[in-house]
Amino acid sequence: MTRLLMCRPDHYGIYYEINPWMDRGHQADRGVAVRQWEALYRLLTEGLQVQVELLPPVPGLPDLCFTANAGLLVNGLFVSSRFRYREREAEVPHCTQWFAERNYRVACLPEPAFFEGEGDALFCGNDLFAGHRFRSELHAHQLLAELLGLRVHSLELADPWFYHLDTCLCPLQPGRAAYYPEAFSPASQRLLKEAIPELLPVTEAEAKRLACNALVIGRSVVVNAGCPHLSRTLTEAGYHVHEVETTEFLKAGGGPKCLALSLDRDGS
């Protein structure tokens, strides 16, 4: 992952409640959020030499900064999200326009299948894992597999606090991932163990700090601050760990990974 899409949180805030993290009475501090986003941006662009493209922020779309939810890009085809909640529907035309203007092919799954992009679709090596229940639908996985010509491993999420797959699974490299087991149904826990030989479990306390919502850049992993167990595990496994503060984004159920969409996936 060397090219990412991000969006400044200039209009970010907690203006509705569509997951258990969000509480309009526990408002995010936008100034702090901007500073945290800028620190992440500097780490990626200056520290890790990542090329970051910017999606323009739009007034009235507070969650547009969570670009991972915009869709899924594979082999130059951008599969746009269809959000379950109407509060986020207006993000779609802005995201699809950005990709269309840059000559990406753009597609959307047939209605009424809900699909929420990289929030619920993650590659581990060449294997695509997709979450369903709280946001994306199981039926969308079949449609996604047909559209992309790829096999999709469907994972049922079991805890509404971990409403997207990227809140509880972090692919690190082919055959290895960090995960929070209790976020998955028993059958999906078994599927993960069969499909990914090396799974690194995350503690409950760190899972609730969205430890799995990490950005993996080669052997570097950008992790939410306050996750010492995962940071130590990753360091011992040979990764370079970079901790960042995302306290204001946690109030909406987001972390470092939510704030970036991969532009590099070639599906090969």
Catalytic residues: 164, 258
11 DSSP assignment? T
Q: Around 262, how many Cα atoms within 13 Å sit in the side-chain half-sphere?
A: 25
56 DSSP assignment? P
DSSP alpha helices (H): ranges in the chain? 30-42, 91-101, 138-148, 186-195, 204-207, 228-236, 247-250
Residue 30's contacts (CB-CB under 8 Å, 6 or more residues apart) are: 9, 10, 12, 13, 248
What length is written for the chain? Answer: 268
Q: How far apart are CA 139 and CA 88, in angstroms?
A: 21
Secondary structure in 3-state letters for 85-104: CHHHCCHHHHHHHHHHHCCC
